[in-house]
Amino acid sequence: MPLLTRHATPAAGVIALSILALGGCVTSAGKLGEPGTLHTGQVVQVLTRSDILGSPEIHGSLTRAGIADAAIADGSVVVVRTLCCGPPSTSNPHGALNPQRLPLRSGDIVEFLWPGGAAVNSVTRVLQGADQSEGECWWEPKDEKLWRRAVYCEWMPEEGWVKQTVPLPGWYKAVGAP
C-alpha cells in the first residue's frame, strides 16, 4: 500500500505516493476497499496540472483510464486521507479524480468511489466544507490523541453505510445499496 513518507514535502509526498494507480486492487464488492464501494476521507492536497503531468504514476493512471491530457487541469486530482491523525504513513492516502471539477480545498470531507481495476477513484460529492468546524461529519472516535480514526457522518447508518473495524477502520457503502 502506498504511503507518504515522513520527510516528504506535500508535493513530493504526492509523487512519492506512487499514487495508487488511483484505483483499488481487490476482488468482490461489499467491503471497505473493494470495487464498487463509496468511501469518505479528507482532502489533504489539491494537485496542480503540473503536479499531475509531472508524475509518471499519476499521469499514467489517468492515461490508462482514458483521460486525455487536455482534460487535466488544476484540481483534477486530489489526495484524500481516509484515516486521521498520526504521521502521514498512518493516514491511508488515496488519489482521486475530480471529474465534476468541484471546487475542492484541503480540509474538505468528501465521498469518493473506489471502482477497482484500471479505473480511477473519483470524488462524487463534498460532504462537509473545510470551513465547517462543527457539522454532521467528524473523525471518529472524537479523541484527538488517537491515530487511525475514520470519518463518520451522522446520517451514515440511516443511508445504508456499513462500519468496518478490521483490517482498517472506516465506513463504506456498496454502490447501488439502499
Domain count for the chain: 1
Single out the residue of 5, 95, 104 nearest to residue 59, CA to CA.
95
- Determine the pLDDT at residue 30: 53
Residue 51 in grid coordinates: 503536479
Residue 85's pLDDT is 84
Cβ proximity of 94 and 112 under 8 Å: yes
Residue 96, domain member (yes or no): yes
Q: Would strands 83-84 and 137-140 be described as parallel, antiparallel, or unpaired?
A: unpaired
Does residue 4 lie in a domain region? no
| Measured torsion, CA atoms of residues 105, 134, 127, 168, in degrees rounded to the nearest 10 | 90
Residue 82: domain span:
10-174
5 within some domain: no
Domain-embedded: residue 1? no
Q: Is there a domain that residue 2 lies in?
A: no
Residue 76 lies in a domain: yes
What integer pLDDT is reported at residue 86 of this predicted model? 80
Residue 18, helix vs strand vs coil: helix
Neighbouring residues of 51: CB distance < 8 A, sequence distance ≥ 6 = 11, 14, 15, 58, 77
Q: What is the mean pLDDT of each run of 10 residues along the chain (178 residues)?
A: 28 38 41 85 96 95 94 96 85 92 97 88 96 91 90 95 88 84
